[in-house]
Amino acid sequence: MAKVDTDFSSQIDQFDLDAKQQSSLNSLIKLCHEHLDSTDEEMIRRAFKLCCKSHENVTRASGEPYYEHPLEVAKIMAEEFNIDDVSVAAALLHDTVEDTPVTLEQIDELFGPAVKHIIDGLTKISGVFENRDTKQAETFMKLLLSMAEDIRVVLIKFADRVHNMRTIKHLPKQKQLNKATETMELYAPLAHRFGLFRIKNELEDLCFKVIDPNSYRFIGRKLREKKEAREQFIDEFMDPIKEELSTQKFRFEIKGRPKHIYSIYRKMQMQQKPFEEIYDLFAIRIILEDPHTKEDCWRVYSVITDKYTPIPKRFRDFISVPKANGYQSLHTTVITKKGRKVEVQIRTRKMDNIAEQGLAAHWKYKEGNSSGNNELDKFVHWVRDVLDAPRPDAATEFVKDFQLNLYQDEIYVFTPNGELKTLPNGASCIDFAFEIHSEIGERAIAAKVNGKMVPLRQKLKSGDQVEIVTGNKVNLNPDWMGDVVTHKAKARLRQFSKQKERRVANEGRELWEKRASRGKVEITDQELTKVAKRFKFNDAQEMFYEIGTGAFEVNELFKVVKQLKSKGRLDKDEEEFKKDQGAAIPEEYYKSARSVGDGNALLVEGELDHVKYSYANCCNPIPGDNVIGFLSRNGDVKIHRSNCKNAHHLIKTDSERIIDISWARNIENQFLGAIKVVGEDRVGLVNDITEVLSKSLQTNMKSINVNSDGGMFEGIITVYVNDLKHLEKIINKLERIDSIKTVMRYE
């Protein structure tokens, strides 16, 4: 074997390049020195020779020698991704194992395990990309994980497709359409997922040029016609900013590039407007050179807003809260004195590299930077989250999620800045919020679709432009589970529900520990579990949960524990326990309780026939609500709204203790109701709200808690109401106030 490998190595070293090939090699090595931190010239030279030898006498559809394709892919890796020399060598060899007699073992001996691993990954995923064969879920997951473990595999695959699309004109028309459609449906969304925006934009434009050449040429011509006027406007706009930034000793670069052709076309289609009425055709970008920091970006923002009037609702801070793929930048839209809107992006050079190159840039910054490394591994973590899941159907769920997001049944929606988001069909505004960033999903309180306020549960359709309104705290609702379709949203909601249950149980445990401490009673967790099971709980955690919700009185638990401890009878059998425990409710009591009131329902109008009741703080029922009663173990009744989450839990676990409840016709008491108000902030809004409540509705307020952020207003108002109709009347009145967009009952 060694003799064969030695012969192969000698053949490569002795292979003579012609003049054109030698010139191409020299050009590639020069690019590597210009764009890479270090370059192993001997490795690049040997890889290029093997490339030329293995593809010798093979031509492309254009008639050019085949080696020119891997050469151009290698140039893209060096010049545009500028990762390292290993990725350049692998790019030169990316087709050798699949298309020629060269083996992975030979690659390993000539170039080492790193190049071999990349080539192996590229060879394995080729069938996945071309055939989309995802029937064998486990195999597909392993391929993706292998791909994600070395990001260079993904980048070479994209560089390969970019060059194929750049030279697509040499293929027959039908093959052009097939290749362009595949690229638009698969590669562009996947590039977006990896944060490769420059690659995604180029791929979309190249595909659009094939799929709709007339529209492509029309928009391109319009952009060229407007180029001189656009450049003049940019100069006039930036002159005062440049002067001030220079005065403050900033080192910066300013770009004023038009948006790519396909994105302009999407805007025309989405807004149903001609080219002339699309005003945000370009964005001005201010890039701060090293060693400027994110704090300096805010200083530049201050300079810009001193010169021009900002539009508050168009401000986006992706520096404090980066996008999921690591994108960071300040976005603001300002208005000139002539009334023209201009989008300005402010970022550091590092942020710009990440914005343009996505995970490719994270690779460069990962050394000595744990945050960069974390961003690089986001896709790997996405895969591993599923691999590590204990569910037996994890693989199937993963493949389904991947297909929904990349292959089929997709919708294409846009952020306020026109950024494309690909979601599964049936996705809601909640899914969109989580797609932007998990923190946005967690803090979402409302949404705007095509400029109009809508419920977060609203389903989206292709072409929708979506803006998420967020608050300052987590606003998750487990009831959203039926309104989301993405794996990310479902997983977070499941996690939140479990966290909430644990939190309530911990609160119940704290109540017990305080009561036990006051009563000087000591009991082990093992003994508490025995007591819990005597009360028909599955375990102590479930018992603490009911204490936390108020369904089980901690004093009753204390009374029983103290009694059992004093008699030393924690280990007695169940029949003895029933006889002695004071908190036990005889079966006949259930029957008598159910017979109180009108028919088989309790009327809520006082203490009827010695049955005490109270209203659950978790849902605050008011007359007119559909309600149920829950008979606690001490004989009291806790009243919940029938749609209360805690009530649902009680129905599942202790259905025999649920009692029908109806409201009495005449109730003189007042009840607390809470309302959430969301709208556009303005001077005097709070005064208008309080005036409507006090003067128009003669309603007393208990409290009002307001927050204003990014031009949006959010208020939680607690009021005293007579019944549900009174509360609905308040909601209807508040909805008529100018600037108020959404009014809803607050849980």
**For 334-370, what is each residue's pLDDT tens digit?**
888 887 888 899 999 988 887 877 666 655 555 444 4
Note whether 659 and 676 are same-domain residues.
Answer: no
Contacts 24+ apart (CB under 8 A), 583-588: 583/535, 583/556, 583/557, 583/559, 583/633, 583/634, 584/633, 585/631, 585/633, 585/634, 585/635
Contact call for residues 661 and 599 (beta carbons, < 8 A): no
Whole-number pLDDT of residue 287:
94
DSSP state at residue 168: G
Contact call for residues 367 and 361 (beta carbons, < 8 A): no
Whole-number pLDDT of residue 553:
80
Average of pLDDT values for 102-125?
A: 87
Contact call for residues 413 and 463 (beta carbons, < 8 A): yes
Domain assignment present for residue 489? The answer is: no
Q: How far apart are CA 196 and CA 182, in angstroms?
A: 18
Please enumerate in sequence order all residues whose Cβ is within 8 A of that of 110, keeping only pairs 6 or more positions apart, or say none: 8, 9, 12, 46, 50
Average of pLDDT values for 541-563?
A: 81
Domain assignment present for residue 480? The answer is: no
Whole-number pLDDT of residue 325:
62
pTM tops 0.85:
no
Residue 733: pLDDT band with limits 50, 70, 90: confident
Unique residue bearing structure tokens 């395990």: 113
Q: How far apart are CA 385 and CA 669, in angstroms?
A: 52
Residue 634: pLDDT band with limits 50, 70, 90: low
DSSP state at residue 185: I
In sign, the C-alpha dihedral spanning 55, 61, 65, 71 is negative
Q: Position 249: which residue type?
A: K
What secondary structure, in 3-state letters, does 690-708 show?
HHHHHHHCCCCEEEEEEEE
In sign, the C-alpha dihedral spanning 23, 27, 29, 30 is positive
The encoded tokens of residue 10 equal 């000698």
Q: Position 313: which residue type?
A: K
Residue 255: pLDDT band with limits 50, 70, 90: confident
Note whether 399 and 437 are same-domain residues.
Answer: yes
Domain assignment present for residue 507? The answer is: yes
Whole-number pLDDT of residue 416:
85
The CA dihedral of 585, 588, 593, 597, to the nearest 10 degrees, is -170
Tell me how many domains the chain contains.
Answer: 6
Using one digit for the tens of pLDDT, what is the confidence trace for 222-233?
888 878 888 888
Whole-number pLDDT of residue 558:
84
Contact call for residues 199 and 191 (beta carbons, < 8 A): yes
| Max avg pLDDT among 8-12, 23-27, 470-474 | 23-27
Whole-number pLDDT of residue 569:
60
Q: Is the peptide bond before 312 cis (omega within 30 degrees of 0)?
A: no
CATH number at residue 323: 3.30.460.10
Q: In degrees rounded to 5, what are phi and psi of residue 631? A: -80, 110
Average of pLDDT values for 173-181?
A: 81
Domain assignment present for residue 741? The answer is: yes
- Is the predicted pLDDT of residue 44 greater than 50, yes or no? yes
Rg over alpha carbons for the chain, rounded to the nearest Å, is 33
Q: How far apart are CA 108 and CA 5, in angstroms?
A: 10
Q: How far apart are CA 182 and CA 407, in angstroms?
A: 10
- Is the predicted pLDDT of residue 430 greater than 90, yes or no? yes
Whole-number pLDDT of residue 406:
42
| Max avg pLDDT among 7-11, 184-188, 204-208 | 204-208
- Is the predicted pLDDT of residue 651 greater than 50, yes or no? yes
Among the three residues 211, 238, 268, which one is the final residue of a domain in this structure?
Answer: 211
Note whether 226 and 317 are same-domain residues.
Answer: yes
The string of DSSP letters for 314-367 reads G-EETTTS--TT----EEEEEE-TTS-EEEEEEEEHHHHHHHHHTHHHHHHH-T
- Is the predicted pLDDT of residue 695 greater than 60, yes or no? yes
Please enumerate in sequence order all residues whose Cβ is within 8 A of that of 289, keeping only pairs 6 or more positions apart, or say none: 251, 252, 253, 349
Contact call for residues 65 and 58 (beta carbons, < 8 A): yes
Note whether 125 and 200 are same-domain residues.
Answer: yes
Please enumerate in sequence order all residues whose Cβ is within 8 A of that of 164, keeping only pairs 6 or more positions apart, or say none: 69, 179
Give residue 418's domain range.
Answer: 380-473
- Is the predicted pLDDT of residue 608 greater than 60, yes or no? no
CB atoms inside a 10 Å sphere around CB 132? 16
- Is the predicted pLDDT of residue 692 greater than 70, yes or no? yes
Contact call for residues 509 and 529 (beta carbons, < 8 A): no
- 77 three-state secondary structure: helix
Q: How far apart are CA 2 and CA 4, in angstroms?
A: 5
Whole-number pLDDT of residue 301:
94
The string of DSSP letters for 243-298 reads HHHHHTT--EEEEEEEPPHHHHHHHHHHHT--GGG----EEEEEEEPTT--HHHHH
Using one digit for the tens of pLDDT, what is the confidence trace for 119-154?
987 876 665 444 443 334 444 444 455 555 677 887
Domain assignment present for residue 482? The answer is: no
The encoded tokens of residue 104 equal 């992975």
Among the three residues 663, 689, 724, which one is the final residue of a domain in this structure?
Answer: 663
Note whether 201 and 237 are same-domain residues.
Answer: no
Whole-number pLDDT of residue 565:
74
Note whether 634 and 689 are same-domain residues.
Answer: no
Instruction: Let me know if 20 is exposed, middle or buried by CB neighbors in 10 A (0-12, 13-18, 19+).
Output: exposed
Contact call for residues 248 and 241 (beta carbons, < 8 A): no
Contact call for residues 351 and 344 (beta carbons, < 8 A): no
Question: Is there a catalytic annotation at residue 202?
Answer: no
Note whether 177 and 50 are same-domain residues.
Answer: yes
Note whether 301 and 340 are same-domain residues.
Answer: yes
Q: Residue 152 half-sphere exposure, CB side, CA atoms within 13 Å? A: 24
Q: Is the peptide bond before 240 cis (omega within 30 degrees of 0)?
A: no
List Cα–Cα distances, 470 to 444, 490, 547, in angstroms.
4, 19, 33
**Intra-chain end-to-end CA distance of the chain, in Å:** 74
CATH number at residue 413: 3.10.20.30
Query: What is the number of residues in the chain?
Result: 747
Note whether 154 and 257 are same-domain residues.
Answer: no
Using one digit for the tens of pLDDT, what is the confidence trace for 267-301?
777 766 667 667 667 788 999 998 888 899 999 99
Unique residue bearing structure tokens 């939680």: 716
Provide the percentage of residues in the chain whose pLDDT is more than 90: 20
Closest CA to 382 of 167, 48, 144, 603: 144
CB atoms inside a 10 Å sphere around CB 160? 23
Closest CA to 420 of 681, 637, 167, 190: 190
Q: Which of 98, 239, 393, 522 is catalytic?
A: 98
Contact call for residues 611 and 635 (beta carbons, < 8 A): yes
Contact call for residues 504 and 549 (beta carbons, < 8 A): yes
Angle in degrees, CA 390, 396, 399, rounded to 5: 115
DSSP state at residue 635: S
- 412 three-state secondary structure: strand
Whole-number pLDDT of residue 684:
85
Domain assignment present for residue 111? The answer is: yes
Contact call for residues 71 and 48 (beta carbons, < 8 A): yes
Whole-number pLDDT of residue 19:
93
Unique residue bearing structure tokens 């011509």: 221
What is the rounded average pLDDT for all residues in the chain?
78
Question: Is there a catalytic annotation at residue 479?
Answer: no
More confident residue, 321 or 390: 321
Q: In degrees rounded to 5, what are phi and psi of residue 702? A: -90, -40
Note whether 115 and 9 are same-domain residues.
Answer: yes
Domain assignment present for residue 369? The answer is: yes
Average of pLDDT values for 439-445?
A: 90
Closest CA to 676 of 726, 715, 728, 718: 715
The encoded tokens of residue 351 equal 């942020």
Note whether 190 and 116 are same-domain residues.
Answer: yes
- 65 three-state secondary structure: strand
Helix axes 349-357, 197-211, angle to 10 degrees: 40
Note whether 399 and 453 are same-domain residues.
Answer: yes
More confident residue, 577 or 232: 232
Contact call for residues 457 and 430 (beta carbons, < 8 A): yes
Domain assignment present for residue 552? The answer is: yes
Closest CA to 701 of 726, 729, 673, 725: 673
Among the three residues 663, 693, 725, which one is the final residue of a domain in this structure?
Answer: 663
Contact call for residues 125 and 157 (beta carbons, < 8 A): yes
CATH number at residue 702: 3.30.70.260
Q: Which of 18, 34, 37, 99 is catalytic?
A: 99
